[in-house]
Every structure is written in C-alpha cells, then in structure tokens.
Amino acid sequence: RRLDMRPLKEAIAEAVVQLCQENLASIKEAAVLDIVYNHTFQNKRVWTVYQMTKATGGETDIFDFTAFKRKFKRRIQSSLINVTINFKEFEDNAIWIRIAWGTSYTKPNQYKATYVVYHSQTPYAFISKSINRSNLPLLCQALIVASNYGDIREMELRSHCLDSLKDIVFKRYSQTFQTHHPKPLQERNVAPENVDPRLIQEDKSEKERIQRVNREVFGDGPQPKLEFAQYKLETMFKSNPKMVNVSERESFRCLVKFSSPHLLEALKSLAPAGMADAPLSPLLTCIPHKARNYFKIKERKGVLAASLVSP
Amino acid sequence: MTESRTKLGVEKGCVNQLVGTDEDLQRQLAQTILKEKKDFKISIHLATSLPLPAERDHIRPRIDLIVFMINVQSKYGFKNIEASLAHVDANFFLGKVCFLVTGVGRVNHCSVDMSAVRKLGDVYCSPLVFCELELEGIRISTAQRLLRMLQICAGHVPGVSALFFSSLMRSSNDE
C-alpha cells in the first residue's frame, strides 16, 4: 500500500503560507531562507572561482561588512533597479550574497538567483554558475567596488564541491614539498596481510617505488574533490605525412575530458591499481597546485610539441 | 634447478608464475589456488611484468608454468603483457605458458580487441582460458584447471607432456 504524501505536503505548505502571512513575512525572509537552503545544499550547484587583485598601492583595509553591503547594492542598483539583493554571514567568515535579477521592464526572477560566496580575508569569490551571463560583468564590478579591489578575473577552476575549491585556493589541503633528500622509505604499520610463504611477491621494490612516488606527488592527506578536468587541444595533427594533405596545416581541435565522482583520488589510485605508470603526467598532477582544471594546450613555437599554456 | 634439487632429496614441487597488472585479482586467484587440495608442494610467484628482478635470480626455483592475466578492460595492462612476453625464454612456449583472459563479460568496458588477444595466443602458440574471476565458483574451477596444467607442466603426470597437453587445448580452441 502506497502512502500518499501529497495531502501531507499540501497541509505543510498551507501552514507555512499562513505562518508567513500572520508574521508579515516578506521577500527578504524568503530570500534569506533561500540562502540558508543553498548553503546547506551547496554542492548541488557548480561553482566557478574568481580572483581579485588589488589596485597598485592599495592598502589592506579592515573589513566593514555594512559598508560592503551598501557599496555592493548601490553599484548594482545604479545600473539595474529590478534586483533583489540579500546577504548572510556564516560561521567560517563566508559572506553569502543572493541576487535575483530582473530587467528594466520585468520584476526579479526569484527562481534563477545567482549566489556569490566571498571570504573577506581573501581575494577570492565563488560564483554559482548562472544561466544569465549578461549580468556577470555588473556583478563582477560590484564585487570589486564593494571590496576595494582593482580587478577581477575568472579562474579556470570549477567544481560542485565548494569546500574543495576553497581548499585549493586557500591552500588548505596537504601539500607536498619537493625535497632534495628523499626520506628513507618508512615501513608502514600494516599487519602482514599474507603470511603464506608459498606466495611470493616478485616486484615488491617496484610497488614500494610506486607508493613513494604517489606520496611525493599527491601528499598523504585527502585530495580536494573535483569532478572534471578538461583539456582543450589546439595542436597540429601529427601523422604519416603522406596521409594528410600538406596544405591542410590547420590545428586539430580536440577536447579531452576526465570525469569522476572524485577525480583526484581516482588519479591517485591509478598507479597502485596497476592501471597507469607512476609518475602520472604532470598535466594531471598539477591540477591542485595550479588551481585549475580547465586547460588549453597549444603548439610550442619552433618545436612541434604540445606545451602547457597558462594565462 | 628444481631437477638438481630433487636429486638431493628435496620434495618435488611445482612453481607457478602469475603475471598481470590487476593485483587484487591476481592475489585472489593465487589464494584460491593455494586453498585447493593437492598432494604436491606448490609456490606461486606474483609479478606485474617481466623480466623478474635480477637480484632474486639465485634464490628463485625453476618455473613450471607462466600464466599471463589479460584484462581486456585495460589496454595499459595488455601492452604491459606484450612487452613482458619478449622477456620469456623460448622454451616456455612449448606448453608452459597460458593466457588467462578476464573482463570479457562487460562489453562496454572492453578496451582491448578480442582479435588482438586471439592473435597473441596464436603467435605464442599458447592456450587462452576465458574466465571472470570475481565470482568465487568460477575462480575455484579456474584454479583447479590451472593446478592440473601445473601438474602436467611440472612433469608430475606420467604419459602427458606439457607440449602434448597444450596442443590438445589449442586444437579445441580453433573450432
């Protein structure tokens, strides 16, 4: 027998509406509730990281939240009246901003709001991927005006997991340090799993090498959680010269995308699982250090070899 | 080496070498083989590729059977095995090499062409055994087959030589 939840849901919805009416709730309360919801379920959205830079000679001012809110609202509303802007500060110094956009003729669309997460002690802002990119320049301007920065740029770093993005740009994950004196291999405290003397592992030293290389590259701690790495190739097609028409010297366009529920942990486990050589390609392992998971690979001038291009 | 040992009165034994990159599966299979009841001594050597490290050469007994574990879902593993084959002494290919092929069940995840696998069996004159080792029942029956092959390759079954047996297995594959 199926339980019909609909009357129950309707009853709850009606009770909530009544409660709101009695307490003269307004859009403001609804917006703040929306922020709380999205903060709790923040990993439902895809977040892009933006980095702000100080204007030359700018000083680090003490952060004034009230002034920030005022300047932000003023900058946006000077261009667009029909907006709903709300703020909420959370425990880890994260300021959440919710913006519902309208146009000159229409009221703000409360169902397609943009969310911005800003940590005042850092030059980083995280913006939820919004469908309406035409409002993005205005949003960016308001951010730098309100936070006293000079410029803002979009980083090539995107993920569902907001905390992991913070871990990467705030450098909160366990980093590896290139040592010139490699530590002697420490015997891990693992109980001997197979005491059967009839089973002999021939390439123990190779396995230990793989573990050591992995530790050097990835560190010991948990990896930040990313779902994608994307490589856009703009390189020449290399093949038997007879096959390709020499006059067709166009770049061969190709997109390689790696996806996984937890990409970096998956990459870390490839060599130990016997699925790849160790060490992995630096194109993959540089992701947290370079704080990017979207790459463009171009031809290296002079030598026909692919090289990594960073802006 | 094992021959001279037998003359010295050491118990007759069989040595099996498993080569493949899928460690967990390799280890599971090895443990299943060891669990099986048998009346001869056996040791199993595991490796991800050949050649085996030279520093252990002096303590390693003669190997009776080499089993290459091919996972058709891993092109990397297959290339590894192709490279390893070059390091195998020609004498082994007279019946002392066999290819264990896994992963054929998941058609969407196959990265290695079946014709390439069959070609390997043809080129190296060695039998292919297909199985899915995750299932315990199949793992046990595969272990039993391998044990039987190992016995023959070590010369423990009178009247049946490794070469004879492998030619039997191969002719049935070529149906």
Same domain, A143 and A41: yes
Structural domain contains residue A61: yes
| pLDDT for res A305 | 38
| pLDDT for res B4 | 26
| pLDDT for res A171 | 87
Please give the average per-residue pLDDT across A98-114, as a whole number: 92
Q: Do B21 and A194 touch (CB under 8 A)?
A: no
Which tokens hold the place of A277?
């050589």
Selecting from A200, A206, A276 the residue whose C-beta is nearest the C-beta of B48 gives A206
Q: Do B74 and A198 touch (CB under 8 A)?
A: no
Cα(B136)–Cα(B140) distance, integer angstroms: 6
Which of A122, A145, A169 terminates a domain? The answer is A169
* pLDDT surpasses 60 at A306: no
Which tokens hold the place of A261?
């529920």
| pLDDT for res A310 | 40
Q: Which range (A16-20, A87-91, B14-18) has the least confidence? A: B14-18
Which tokens hold the place of A240?
């038997």
| pLDDT for res A114 | 94
Per-residue pLDDT tens over the stretch A245-277: 655 566 667 899 999 999 999 999 988 888 888
Cα(A73)–Cα(A68) distance, integer angstroms: 9
* pLDDT surpasses 50 at A113: yes
Model confidence, pTM: 0.76
Which residues of A have a CB under 8 Å from any CB of B?
194, 196-203, 205-207, 273-277
**3-class DSSP state for residue A212?**
helix
Selecting from A203, A274, A277 the residue whose C-beta is nearest the C-beta of B22 gives A274
Which of A119, A150, A169 terminates a domain? The answer is A169
| pLDDT for res B175 | 47
* pLDDT surpasses 70 at A11: yes
Over pLDDT 90: what percentage of chain A? Answer: 50
Q: Do residues A299 and A306 lie in contact, with contact meaning Cβ atoms separated by under 8 Å?
A: yes
Categorize the per-residue pLDDT at A58 as very low, low, confident or very high, splitting at 50, 70 and 90: low
Nearest CA in chain A to B46: A201
Same domain, A235 and A158: no
Selecting from B30, B44, B48 the residue whose C-beta is nearest the C-beta of A274 gives B48
Q: Which range (A235-244, B4-13, B54-63) has the least confidence? A: B4-13
| pLDDT for res A59 | 61
| pLDDT for res A251 | 65
Structural domain contains residue A303: yes
**3-class DSSP state for residue A210?**
helix
Categorize the per-residue pLDDT at A241 as very low, low, confident or very high, splitting at 50, 70 and 90: low
Which of A119, A147, A169 terminates a domain? The answer is A169
Selecting from A194, A198, A203 the residue whose C-beta is nearest the C-beta of B47 gives A203
Q: Which range (A101-110, B23-32, B111-120) has the least confidence? A: B23-32
Strand partners, A98: A86, A115
| pLDDT for res B11 | 44
**Pairing, β A251-259 against β A228-236:** antiparallel
Which structural domain range is residue A288 located in?
Answer: 228-309
Q: Do residues A159 and A48 lie in contact, with contact meaning Cβ atoms separated by under 8 Å?
A: no
* pLDDT surpasses 60 at A193: no
Same domain, A286 and A156: no
Identify the burial level of A176 via C-beta atoms within 10 angstroms of its C-beta, where 0-12 means exposed, 13-18 middle and 19 or more buried: middle
Categorize the per-residue pLDDT at A179 as very low, low, confident or very high, splitting at 50, 70 and 90: very low
- Return the CATH class of domain B81-170: alpha beta
Total tally of structural domains belonging to chain A: 2
* pLDDT surpasses 90 at B103: no
Which positions in chain A touch B22 (Cβ < 8 Å)? Answer: 273-274
**3-class DSSP state for residue A192?**
coil
Nearest CA in chain B to A197: B43
Per-residue pLDDT tens over the stretch B43-68: 888 888 888 888 777 788 888 889 99
Complex-level ipTM beyond the 0.95 threshold: no
Which positions in chain A touch B48 (Cβ < 8 Å)? Answer: 203, 206-207, 274
Strand partners, A124: A51
| pLDDT for res A57 | 53
Q: What is the mean pLDDT of chain A?
A: 84
Over pLDDT 70: what percentage of chain A? Answer: 81
Categorize the per-residue pLDDT at A131 as very low, low, confident or very high, splitting at 50, 70 and 90: low
Q: What is the mean pLDDT of chain B?
A: 81
Per-residue pLDDT tens over the stretch A279-300: 899 999 999 999 999 999 887 6
